[in-house]
Chain A
């Protein structure tokens, strides 16, 4: 089972001066798992994720992501993972097809590969009629689905989703989760940071960070049982309010 863990984190710590933003966190994430990484504003989840995606160096501790060390191989990590955020996703002033081509190029895919990927992706998402339209003109829900698919364009082992589905209607949000289930089914690990507790309900396992530490880590079902509540929002409130 050991080799099945695509993210391994041991005692990972980040300090800014005297302030400990991430305090010796330890956890593993399995291949194909949908892992929810939760915490209130300021709990340290963004800082922790920045270390895992190779854009921030830990103060101490170890972590490997897709087999690469966050301390010594951050560039390999960046090439190997996918990343999607609500804030930064696609270029609004490029068309759907141009965005796919651009990101395919960034990840070093061949022209042929990009062409075939674009065709598959446009077909799967049903975007044939808008393939040559500017992304800025698409509804938010379509953008989110496209953005997620583009983050998978180089077949990463792990995709990091940073608060991915805020604001869209309930049906579109479920279509988005169906895409996530599909990626997970195909063996891609999905690491979701969020403070939307309804997103947490969809994860296989979730961790909850409070003041830089992981205070709970389990399946949503077991967490709800442990705290004797019927939704993740109440689990979160119990932990964060102490």
Chain B
């Protein structure tokens, strides 16, 4: 096991940021912490990277205890915080050299690890970090976090605020890092990124709702989900909420995801009800659950 977390709790005054968090991450695994702002993801990252001390519980990273062996952990992990934390007034190259020196290494020593990423920012190597675009900053930050060939890489919301093209490229880079003896713990509020992890933990309000592979999490959703659409989205949602047999009604892009309380649900009956509400062009069809559906059901 590369990361072992057992019964970690952390409070700030009245706020319980983390409550009894336990999970393990295997070597070479990409493990995703999936949850919204305020779920406790950053607090957990700070505890595991030895920047914060938990109130309760224990954790070890690459075999080192977060309290007693904190110095060893700092030498063996890479951490990319959610907020861009490189030196804005140093150039790309200066930032890399700075972090290499801090860790007693050189850009050349582990060049094979960062090569794929570095060549994308190399044309801008003399530009100050503060002047880079969002996607470029993110790539530089990843290079700096990898420069000492860490055993475990912590990425706290690396793709927040980044456009879909850069987001896709970033995940392709993570996939390439896998298999180079690096364990990756990554957090994200984007449910669609969960599918790219080997295993995920869904987290909300400081508690883990579920831990499994993305496929297994979706399979755990037991209800039949229907895609609904009609001529008027607002009236459709209101009517479905009025329908006494509804279990859940959630807007979902161009559709509404609907589940019914009854095991013998008959879509025709619902259609008749919606027609009585003067809705037209009604479509009701079965669909499959997504990680987001599971998340909402678990946090309900």
Q: How many pairs, one residue from A and one from B, have CB atoms within 8 Å of each other in the complex?
A: 89
Interface contact B234-A167, CB-CB below 8 Å: no
**Which residues of chain B are within 8 angstroms of A177 by Cβ–Cβ distance?**
251
The residues of A that contact B163 with a CB separation of less than 8 Å are: 39-41, 195, 240
CB neighbors of A among B194-218 (8 A): 204
A111 CB within 8 Å of chain B = no
Q: In chain A between 131 and 183, which residues have their CB closer than 8 angstroms to a CB of chain B? A: 139-141, 166-172, 174, 177-178, 181-182
**Is there contact, CB below 8 Å, between B134 and A41?**
yes
Convert B19-45 into 0s and 1s, putting 1 for each residue whose CB lies closer than 8 angstroms to a CB of A: 000000000000000011111000000
Select A185's contact among B160, B190, B232, B254, beta carbons within 8 Å: B232
Contacting B38 at CB < 8 Å: which of A139, A174, A195, A202? A139
| Interface bits B253-274 vs A (CB < 8 Å: 1, else 0) | 1100000000000000000000
Contact mask for chain B residues 125-158; partner A; CB cutoff 8 A; 1 contact, 0 none? 0000000011100000000000000000000000
B292 lies within 8 A of A170 (CB)? yes
Residue ID in chain A nearest B257 by CB atoms:
A174
Provide the bound-state CA to CA distance between A186 and B192, in Å.
32
Are B37 and A168 in contact, with the CB atoms below 8 A? Answer: yes
**B192 and A198: CB pair below 8 A?**
yes
Interface residues of A in 206-242 (CB under 8 A from B): 219-221, 232-233, 236-237, 240-241
Chain A residues positioned under 8 Å from B37 (CB to CB): 140, 167-168
Interface 1/0s, chain B 159-184, versus A by CB < 8 A? 01111111010000000000000000
Tell me the smallest distance from the CB of A115 to a CB of chain B, in Å.
28
A-B residue pairs, 4 tightest by C-beta:
A201-B253, A169-B36, A185-B234, A167-B37
Q: List 14 A-B contacts (CB under 8 A).
A: A40-B164, A40-B166, A41-B163, A167-B36, A167-B189, A169-B36, A169-B39, A171-B296, A171-B299, A174-B250, A174-B252, A198-B190, A220-B253, A237-B168
